[in-house]
C-alpha cells in the first residue's frame, strides 16, 4: 500500500484503492466512523499513518469525523472523511454548512452506498446529498478509477474551494481489480498557518458564492476524463451509465452483439451535471436507457434537461420500469434491459428442477453473547402481566428482531434512536401505557449517539430499562477501536472510557451482569424492570469472535447421545430448534442433538439449558 513503485500492477480491492489514492494525494488527516461497505478504509489508513506522517482516527461518530476534517482544512490540510450512506446523512447539517462556507485545504468525503442492502438496514442514494448541499460528486467505476479519482478530487476541491464527495457502491468497495500504481509524494501536503482573516463561517450571504462555485465545477466537468463516450456518431439509442453499470453494459453489448446499435455514455461527474457535454449526445438520441445504482437520479435530471431544451426523448431506467426499482444493478438485469432496449433476444438457460431449496437466514455467530441476552430478556418479559416493549438499535444485535433473537423487538429506527423511542414510551407509562419498556444498544453505539438520549431520559425521569450490550467491540463492521477499547486507529494506547462511570455521572442507576450467567442475570433483569425511572444494565461479555481468537487450545463441547433424550425429550429440541446457535445442530439419523465441531466456539451456554445434562464442556487454556 505504501510501496513507491509507479507503474507496478496489483490486484486491489476498491477500499484499498481509496487508501492508495489518499497516500498518493499526500493527505494530512483522515477521520471515519466504521460502516460497511467502506469500513476497511480507515483501518488500513491507521496502520500506515505513522509511516506516511498523517493523522488518522476512528471518530466517535460521523459528525465528529466530518467536522474534524473541516477543522483540518482550515489549516490547509488535505482531509479525507470516510462514511457509509447512513453516516453521510448523519453529517447533513455539517455538510450543508460546510458547502456554504467552503474549504481551504482539500476536503474529500468518500461515501459508500449499499445497493441491495447487503450489509445495511436500507438502501440509500448519497447523490441527493451532493445535490442538496451543492457540492461536487464523483463516482468511479473501475478500481483504477477509484484510486485515481482521490488525488483528482483533492485538486478539484482546492481549485474550487469546495468539498468533493466520492460515491462508491458495494461492488466497488468489495470488488477487486487491476490497478497500476502512481507516484507517492515525497512529503505530505504542506500545512498553512491559520491567518487572522481566514474565514470558514456559515452565513447567509455566502449562499451566492456557493452557487458560483457550483457553476465553476460544472464548467470543469464539461471537459473531464471521467466522462467518456463509445459508440456510433449521432446514436439514436443512447445508454448512459453512472458507476458500476458501465462494465455490465460493455459486456452485455458485446455478448448480445449490439455494440454498433447504441452509444454508451459514461458519466463519472454526477453533480453538478456537465449539461453541454450531455446535450451533445442527447440531441441526437430518440431513446435513452439509464444505468445507475439505487434511485433514478440521472434519469430524473436528464429528463429535466431534455425538457428544458424541448427535446423529444423517451427515457428508460429505474423509474420507467426498464430496470428494477429496488436492488443493485447486475449483469443479468442490465443484459435484460439492453436486450429489450435494442430488440435483441436473450440466450436461453437450462431449467432447474422444482426441488425447493431452504433459505439460509442470518443469525448471531456461534457463542455470541447477544443470543443469551435476548433469551433472558424474552423469558423475563413473557412473565410480565402485559408483554413488554423492546426497542432495538443498530449493531449485530439488530438480528434480535429476527429468529436469532427470538423476534425480540418491535421497533428500530436509525443508529442511536432506540433510547429516544423508548424514552417516549417510558413517559407514556404515566399516561396509561401499562407495559415495561426496554431498549438496547452496543458499546460502540453508546458512544456514537446514545449519550444525549440518556441525558434526556434521565432528566425527564422516563420509566425504562436500557441494556448496554458491551461486547468490547464494534463487532458488526470488523472490530474497529472505539473510545471504550483503549486503542486508537493508529495503534496507540488510550485511556478507555468507562461506560458505567459515564452513566453514573449522568445520574443513572447502573448495574452490570454477565449474560452467560443465565439464571442470575435473569433475576437481575426481572428486578430492574420493577423499578421506577431510568435504569441501566450493562451486559458484559466479549464478542465470541474475539474470545475464539484468544484461545490456545480450543474448547471442546460435545453431546453424550446416550444421555440425550432426542425427539422424545420434553425440551422439544431446545438446543437446536429454539436456542438457534449454529454450533447446535441435529443428528437426523439418530434423532439426537449434536455439536458441529467446525462451528462451535465453546461458550458452553447450551450445556446450562440441557435438561438431561447431555451436553459436556471441556475447558481449554487461555492464551
Partner 1 sequence: MRELKFDPLNIVVCGIGGQGNVLAAEVLGSAMCDRGCRVAVGETYGASQRGGSVMSHVRVSNKMDPSVLIPSGEAHIIIGFEPLETLRMVRKYAGRDTTVVYDPRPVYPLGVLQGIQQYPAVEDIAAEIDGLTAMAVAVPAAAIAMEAGDSKAANIALLGAFSQLPGAPLNREDLEKILSQRFKGAVLEVNRRAFAMGCEAAGKGAE
Query: Least distance in Å: CB of 142 to partner 1?
Result: 6
Query: Least distance in Å: CB of 548 to partner 1?
Result: 10
Residue 240 vs 282, nearer CB to partner 1: 240
Query: Least distance in Å: CB of 176 to partner 1?
Result: 4
Residues near partner 1 (CB under 8 A):
9-11, 36, 118-119, 142, 171, 174-178, 244, 247-248, 250-252, 255, 330-332, 335, 347, 349-350, 352-353, 355-365, 396, 399, 403-404, 545, 573, 576-578, 580, 582, 584-586, 596-599
Residue 160 vs 406, nearer CB to partner 1: 406
C-alpha 473/C-alpha 542 separation (Å) is: 7
Query: Least distance in Å: CB of 623 to partner 1?
Result: 15
Query: Least distance in Å: CB of 15 to partner 1?
Result: 11
Q: In this structure, what DSSP letter does residue 205 have?
A: G
Residue 174 vs 540, nearer CB to partner 1: 174
Residue 434 vs 572, nearer CB to partner 1: 572
Q: With contact defined as beta carbons under 8 Å apart, do 326 and 301 qualify?
A: no
Tell the residue number behind the cell numbers 487572522, with chain if given: 196
C-alpha 462/C-alpha 439 separation (Å) is: 12
Q: With contact defined as beta carbons under 8 Å apart, do 112 and 477 qualify?
A: no
C-alpha 235/C-alpha 358 separation (Å) is: 47
Q: With contact defined as beta carbons under 8 Å apart, do 538 and 510 qualify?
A: yes
Tell me whether residue 432 is exposed, middle or buried, using C-beta atoms within 10 angstroms of its C-beta: 0 to 12, 13 to 18, 19 or more: exposed
C-alpha 368/C-alpha 245 separation (Å) is: 38
Query: Least distance in Å: CB of 145 to partner 1?
Result: 10
End-to-end CA distance of the chain: 31
Nearest CA-CA partner of 342 in 237, 427, 210: 237
C-alpha 479/C-alpha 543 separation (Å) is: 9
Q: With contact defined as beta carbons under 8 Å apart, do 235 and 262 qualify?
A: yes
Query: Least distance in Å: CB of 585 to partner 1?
Result: 6
C-alpha 224/C-alpha 208 separation (Å) is: 25
Q: Provide the pairing of β-strand 263-267 with 228-230.
A: antiparallel
Q: How far is CA 237 from CA 9, 250, 450, in A?
A: 36, 15, 52
Query: Least distance in Å: CB of 101 to partner 1?
Result: 37
Neighbouring residues of 54: CB distance < 8 A, sequence distance ≥ 6: 27, 28, 29, 30, 45, 188
Residue 439 vs 584, nearer CB to partner 1: 584
Neighbouring residues of 325: CB distance < 8 A, sequence distance ≥ 6: 318, 319
Residue 57 vs 148, nearer CB to partner 1: 148
Query: Least distance in Å: CB of 115 to partner 1?
Result: 12
Query: Least distance in Å: CB of 330 to partner 1?
Result: 5
Residue 98 vs 231, nearer CB to partner 1: 231
Residue 85 vs 157, nearer CB to partner 1: 85
Query: Least distance in Å: CB of 536 to partner 1?
Result: 27
Query: Least distance in Å: CB of 481 to partner 1?
Result: 18
C-alpha 350/C-alpha 452 separation (Å) is: 57
Sign of CA dihedral 24, 25, 29, 30: negative
Residue 119 vs 488, nearer CB to partner 1: 119
Tell me whether residue 115 is exposed, middle or buried, using C-beta atoms within 10 angstroms of its C-beta: 0 to 12, 13 to 18, 19 or more: buried
Residue 315 vs 397, nearer CB to partner 1: 397
What are the cell numbers at 536? 441501566
Residue 272 vs 405, nearer CB to partner 1: 405
Q: How far is CA 623 from CA 367, 475, 540, 551, in A?
A: 18, 21, 20, 5
Residue 60 vs 119, nearer CB to partner 1: 119
Amino acid at each position: 500500500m505504501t510501496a513507491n513503485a509507479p507503474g507496478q500492477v496489483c490486484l486491489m480491492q476498491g477500499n484499498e484503492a481509496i487508501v492508495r489514492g489518499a497516500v498518493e494525494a499526500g493527505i494530512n488527516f483522515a477521520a471515519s466512523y466504521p460502516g460497511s461497505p467502506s469500513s476497511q478504509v480507515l483501518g488500513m489508513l491507521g496502520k500506515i499513518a505513522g509511516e506516511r506522517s498523517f493523522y488518522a482516527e476512528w471518530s466517535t461518530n460521523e459528525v465528529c469525523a466530518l467536522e474534524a476534517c473541516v477543522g483540518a482544512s482550515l489549516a490547509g490540510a488535505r482531509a479525507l472523511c470516510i462514511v457509509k450512506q447512513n453516516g453521510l446523512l448523519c453529517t447533513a447539517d455539517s455538510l450543508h454548512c460546510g458547502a456554504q462556507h467552503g474549504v481551504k485545504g482539500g476536503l474529500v468525503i468518500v461515501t459508500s452506498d449499499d445497493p441491495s442492502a447487503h450489509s445495511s438496514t436500507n438502501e440509500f442514494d448519497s447523490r441527493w446529498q451532493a445535490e442538496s448541499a451543492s457540492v461536487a460528486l464523483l463516482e468511479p467505476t473501475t478500481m483504477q478509477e477509484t484510486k485515481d479519482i482521490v488525488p483528482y478530487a483533492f485538486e478539484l476541491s482546492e481549485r474550487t474551494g469546495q468539498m468533493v464527495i466520492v460515491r462508491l457502491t458495494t461492488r466497488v468497495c468489495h470488488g477487486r481489480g487491476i490497478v497500476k500504481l502512481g507516484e507517492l509524494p515525497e512529503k505530505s501536503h504542506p500545512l498553512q498557518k491559520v491567518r487572522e482573516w481566514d474565514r470558514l463561517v456559515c452565513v447567509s450571504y455566502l449562499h451566492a458564492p456557493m452557487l458560483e462555485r457550483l457553476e465553476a465545477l460544472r464548467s470543469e466537468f464539461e471537459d473531464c476524463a471521467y466522462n467518456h463516450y463509445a459508440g456510433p456518431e449521432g446514436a439514436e439509442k443512447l445508454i448512459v451509465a453512472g458507476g458500476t453499470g458501465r462494465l455490465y453494459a460493455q459486456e452485455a453489448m458485446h455478448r448480445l452483439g449490439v455494440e454498433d446499435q447504441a452509444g454508451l455514455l459514461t458519466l463519472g461527474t454526477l453533480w453538478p451535471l456537465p449539461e453541454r457535454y450531455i446535450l451533445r449526445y442527447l440531441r441526437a438520441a430518440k431513446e435513452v436507457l439509464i444505468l445507475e445504482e439505487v434511485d433514478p437520479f440521472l434519469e430524473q435530471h436528464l429528463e429535466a434537461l431534455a425538457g428544458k431544451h424541448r427535446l423529444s426523448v423517451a427515457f428508460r431506467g429505474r423509474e420507467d420500469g426498464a430496470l428494477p426499482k429496488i436492488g443493485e444493478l447486475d449483469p443479468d438485469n442490465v443484459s435484460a434491459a439492453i436486450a429489450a432496449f435494442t430488440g435483441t433476444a436473450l440466450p436461453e438457460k437450462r431449467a432447474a428442477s422444482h426441488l425447493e431449496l431452504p433459505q439460509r437466514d442470518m443469525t448471531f455467530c456461534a457463542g455470541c453473547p447477544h443470543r443469551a441476552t435476548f433469551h433472558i430478556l424474552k423469558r423475563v418479559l413473557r412473565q410480565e402481566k402485559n408483554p413488554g416493549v423492546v426497542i432495538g438499535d443498530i449493531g449485530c444485535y439488530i438480528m434480535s428482531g429476527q429468529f436469532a433473537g427470538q423476534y425480540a423487538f418491535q421497533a428500530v429506527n436509525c443508529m442511536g434512536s432506540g433510547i429516544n423511542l423508548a424514552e417516549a414510551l417510558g413517559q407514556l407509562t404515566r399516561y396509561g401505557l401499562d407495559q415495561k419498556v426496554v431498549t438496547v444498544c452496543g458499546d460502540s453505539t453508546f458512544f456514537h449517539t446514545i449519550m444525549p438520549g440518556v441525558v434526556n431520559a434521565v432528566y425527564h425521569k422516563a420509566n425504562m430499562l436500557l441494556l448496554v450490550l458491551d461486547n468490547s467491540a464494534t463487532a458488526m463492521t470488523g472490530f474497529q477501536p472505539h473510545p471504550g477499547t483503549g486503542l486508537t486507529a493508529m495503534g496507540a494506547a488510550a485511556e478507555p472510557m468507562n461506560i458505567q462511570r459515564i452513566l453514573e455521572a449522568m445520574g443513572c442507576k447502573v448495574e452490570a451482569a454477565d449474560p452467560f450467567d443465565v439464571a442470575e442475570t435473569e433475576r437481575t433483569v426481572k428486578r430492574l424492570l420493577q423499578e421506577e425511572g431510568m435504569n441501566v444494565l450493562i451486559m458484559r461479555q466479549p464478542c465470541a469472535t474475539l474470545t475464539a481468537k484468544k484461545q490456545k487450545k480450543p474448547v471442546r463441547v460435545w453431546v453424550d447421545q446416550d444421555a440425550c433424550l432426542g425427539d422424545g425429550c420434553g425440551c422439544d429440541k431446545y438446543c437446536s430448534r429454539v436456542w438457534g446457535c449454529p454450533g447446535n445442530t441435529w443428528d437426523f439419523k439418530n434423532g439426537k442433538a449434536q455439536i458441529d465441531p467446525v462451528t462451535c466456539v465453546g461458550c458452553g451456554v447450551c450445556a446450562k439449558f440441557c435438561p438431561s445434562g447431555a451436553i459436556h464442556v471441556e475447558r481449554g487454556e487461555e492464551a
